Amino acid sequence: MKKEIKVTPIKNGTVIDHLPAGTALRVLSFLKLKNNPITIAMNVGSKKQGKKDIIFIEDKFLGDKEFAKIALIGKGATMNIIKNHEVKSKGIIEIQDYAEAIIKCINPNCITNAEKMKTKFIIKDRPLKATCYYCQKTMDEREIVESIK
């Protein structure tokens, strides 16, 4: 039996695994990390997905808002919390049906782009779509990915 190698180059932190290939940099762009050491593996062979991206972030434990953002890009990605080189918990990132303050509305005439207020979107999956609760504009997957704050 072939044993899968568990790569944990970090001591404490988060591993985001099974991201769709090519999405790691976009995910990093909205995680707003400060000086945390980061390792990225892109286009890694995966039995499940063909190819995938992985992100290792040292000394960082992500919150619900960050999970929600990652879910919009990489549904089915997994989140591993590492403590002392050991996987402490592991979970699949699921798409929520409601997104608050994580996407910007692409409609330039939307009230959310004029006032200081939280955006709200109703999310539908397969295909991924987000409808603005205020202006009712519906965004497709590409538009959503570009609009994550």
Partner 1 sequence: MEKMPAAKKQKILMGRVVASLFFEPSTRTRLSFEAAIQNLGGRVIGFSDSSTTSAKKGETLSDSIRMVSRYADIIVMRHPLEGSARMAAEISQKPIINGGDGANQHPTQTLLDLYTIKKKFGKIDGLSIGMLGDLKYGRTVHSLAYALAKFEGVKLYLIAPEQLKMPKEIIEDVKKNLKIEETSNLEKFLPKMDVLYATRIQKERFPDSMEYEKVKNVYILKEEILKITKKNFQIMHPLPRVNEISDGLDKTSAALYFEQAANGIPVREALLSMLIGKKKKVEM
Residues making contact with partner 1 (CB under 8 A): 107, 109-112, 114-117, 132-138
113, exposed or middle or buried, with CB in 10 Å at 0-12, 13-18, 19+?
Answer: middle
Pairing of strands 50-58, 13-20: antiparallel
Answer with the entry of Zn ion, partner 1, none that 138 interacts with (C-beta below 5 to 8 A by kind): partner 1
Residues 6+ apart with CB under 8 A from 21: 42, 43, 49, 50, 51, 52, 53
132 near Zn ion, rule: CB under 5 A:
yes
In the complex with partner 1, which residue's Cβ is closer, 60 or 104? 104
Phi, psi of 13 (to 5 degrees): 155, -150
Query: Which residue of 107, 131, 138, 147 would you call a contact of Zn ion, by CB under 5 A?
Result: 107
**What is the C-alpha radius of gyration for the chain, rounded to an integer number of angstroms?**
17
Instruction: Give the contacts of 62 (CB within 8 A, at least 6 positions apart).
Output: 14, 31, 70, 79
User: Of these partners, Zn ion, partner 1, none, which one is at the site of residue 29 (CB under 5 to 8 Å by kind)?
Assistant: none
Between 60 and 129, CB nearer to partner 1: 129
Q: Which of 60, 110, 131, 147 binds Zn ion (CB under 5 A)?
A: 110
Residue 29 or 136 having the CB closest to partner 1: 136
Closer to Zn ion by Cβ: residue 86 or 97: 97
Chain positions contacting Zn ion, by CB under 5 A: 105, 107, 110, 132, 134-135, 137
